[in-house]
Amino acid sequence: MKHIKMTCAEFDTVVHDVARPDAFDKPAAVIAKFHAQTCERCAARLAQAQLLAGALEAVAQDSADLGAPAHFEPALVSAFREHRRSLERKQHRQRRTRLRWLEWSALAAAAVLLAIGAWNFSRPRVIGTDTNPSVVVKSPVNSSASGAVQQIGSVETAAAEDSNSDFVPVPYGESLSSDDSGLVVRVSMTRSALGSLGYPVDEIHAGDVVQADLLVGEDGLPRAVRLVQ
Amino acid sequence: MPDRTELRDEDLLRRMGAGDEEAFRSFYSRHQRPIYRFALHMTGRPEAAEEVVQEAFMTLIREISKFDSVRGTPQAFLFGIARNHVRRLVESDRRFVPLAEDDDLQVRAGQASLSYGLGESLSDDMARAEIIERVRRAVLALPEHYREAVTLCDLQGFDYSAAAATLDCPIGTVRSRLARAREMLLARLRPTPAAITRPSRAAGSR
């Protein structure tokens, strides 16, 4: 059997753990106790440590049942309850503040969008590379038929007979109201832009610049478009 | 509904964070005695121990959201709070429980000394009470770091790992403090040769 020796210095480092076997791993305790059996000095140290461990255990047992007074529990439970309520009130206040902020933000954003939209649609549009100003003809439009343009007035720079295509209503447009005389605006634009207004275009020539007449209401929004040929 | 007495501390804390009053009751019931005993052994005063229990649980109520299971157990978290309150109390009180160095106590200690038949003395109620009181005073006389180690490991039954988590220090530090504390206790409790040779007085006389 192989003897594992322990020095007195090593024994001193573990003597208190050996005195309390539950706090020390068993093989090391066996080695230490074996050393104590062969060393009078370490045997005395172990005895002292065991006495101390016993005395400390007695102190622990003597106070095992001690605790806070019984009335502490209901008082602390009450404090717990009150703290929870104050947290809920605080969270409720924070939620209301957040909602109010969201409401104001949404209103502000809607106001900004409306302003941008109104400004955008109120501008006369010139599309395309034509440097000549578009001709705006104020000509009365017979809008007796809803959504239909029946008669177009003459155009100063281009004869009406040049426009041999019919007006095509824009997809999102509303009909002219009966008291809206409407305007015909001649613009230069690419065929692809014409397509965005709902006019059928040939994809191959989408980049070509063409002239088109826009029927625009008093609100500045186009109602219909036709190709000037 | 699981019996709350069977729930782990982590589950109780989580429920407490959600406002579960019964979870708080269970947690309090489970931990108030160890906290009280820890504070009593550290301060030596029952009223101080009561104050620590109250303050520790009030702090827990307010700061429960600060508990992080990665950093330690709920028990270590609570003991850490209690430890801070104990330190403040000890600092403000600056009380010192002197170890009686007078000859009378030394002589009585000689009758029930650690060097002479402690096992028999512990079985004798009167002598046992004296030894317990003497050891308690010796623990109170230890410097704070050593007192904490002895209180947690020898009086509260913490293992090295739990004590290290509570004290927020390495396990090796706990072991060395504990070894040193026990040596100091032995030195304080061992009767002097002069005391041993004096004629002994009746046990219990003060």
Judged by CB atoms closer than 8 Å, whether chains meet at A58 and B128 is answered as: yes
The two structure tokens encoding residue A97: 């503040």
pLDDT band at B156 (very low <50, low <70, confident <90, very high): very high
Backbone angles phi, psi at A33, to 5 degrees: -65, -35
**Closest Cα in chain A to B156:** A60
To the nearest whole Å, the CA of B1 is away from the closest chain A CA by 21
Amino acid at B141: A
The ipTM estimated for the assembled molecules is 0.78
Could you tell me if B50 lies within 8 Å of chain A, comparing CB atoms?
yes
pLDDT one-digit tens code per residue, B61-120: 999 989 988 888 999 999 999 999 999 988 877 655 544 444 334 434 443 444 444 455
Q: What is the pLDDT of residue A159?
A: 45
Cβ proximity of A213 and A225 under 8 Å: yes
Decide if pLDDT at A201 tops 80. no
Q: What is the pLDDT of residue A148?
A: 40
Could you tell me if B124 lies within 8 Å of chain A, comparing CB atoms?
no
Q: What is the pLDDT of residue B3?
A: 60
To the nearest whole Å, the CA of B89 is away from the closest chain A CA by 17
The fold of B103-197 is Arc Repressor Mutant, subunit A (1.10.10)
Among candidates A54, A68, A73 on the partner chain, residue whose Cβ is nearest the Cβ of B122: A54
Among candidates B24, B179, B186 on the partner chain, residue whose Cβ is nearest the Cβ of A80: B24
pLDDT one-digit tens code per residue, A82-117: 999 998 899 899 899 999 988 889 899 999 999 988
Could you tell me if B41 lies within 8 Å of chain A, comparing CB atoms?
yes
Measuring CA to CA, how many Å separate A107 from each of A3, A9, A212, B170? 88, 81, 38, 58
The two structure tokens encoding residue A8: 């007195």
Among A177-186, B41-50, B83-92, the least confident range: A177-186
Q: What is the pLDDT of residue B206?
A: 38
Among A154-158, B73-77, B143-147, the least confident range: A154-158
**One fold for both B4-93 and B103-197?**
no
CA A27 from centre of chain: 61
Among candidates A55, A69, A75 on the partner chain, residue whose Cβ is nearest the Cβ of B135: A55
Identify the H or E element spanning A190.
Answer: strand A183-190
Interface of A with B (CB under 8 A): 13, 16, 23, 48-49, 51-60, 62-69, 72-73, 75-77, 79-81, 83-84, 87-88
Among candidates B21, B132, B135 on the partner chain, residue whose Cβ is nearest the Cβ of A77: B21
To the nearest whole Å, the CA of A2 is away from the closest chain B CA by 29
Nearest C-alpha neighbor of A173 from the set A196, A153, A154, A150: A196
To the nearest whole Å, the CA of B203 is away from the closest chain A CA by 18
Its pTM stands at 0.62
pLDDT band at A221 (very low <50, low <70, confident <90, very high): confident
Could you tell me if B7 lies within 8 Å of chain A, comparing CB atoms?
no
Judged by CB atoms closer than 8 Å, whether chains meet at A13 and B25 is answered as: no
C-beta neighbour count of B93 within 10 angstroms? 12
Q: List, in order, residues 6 or more apart from B106 with CB less than 8 Å away.
A: B191, B192, B194, B195, B198
* CATH class of the domain at B4-93: mainly alpha
Taking CB atoms and an 8 Å cutoff, what residues of chain A touch B131?
A: 55, 58
Cα distance between residue A194 and residue A199, in whole Å: 6
Taking CB atoms and an 8 Å cutoff, what residues of chain A touch B29?
A: 73
The DSSP annotation for chain B comes to: ---GGGS-HHHHHHHHHTT-HHHHHHHHHHHHHHHHHHHHHHHS-HHHHHHHHHHHHHHHHHHGGG--TTT--HHHHHHHHHHHHHHHHHHHH----PPP-SHHHHHHHHHT-TTS-HHHHHHSHHHHHHHHHHHHHHHHTS-HHHHHHHIIIIIS---HHHHHHHHTS-HHHHHHHHHHHHHHHHHHHSPPHHHHHSPPPPTT--
Task: Give residue limits of the domains in chain B.
Answer: 4-93, 103-197
Judged by CB atoms closer than 8 Å, whether chains meet at B136 and A68 is answered as: no
Task: Give residue limits of the domains in chain A.
Answer: 8-62, 67-123, 136-228
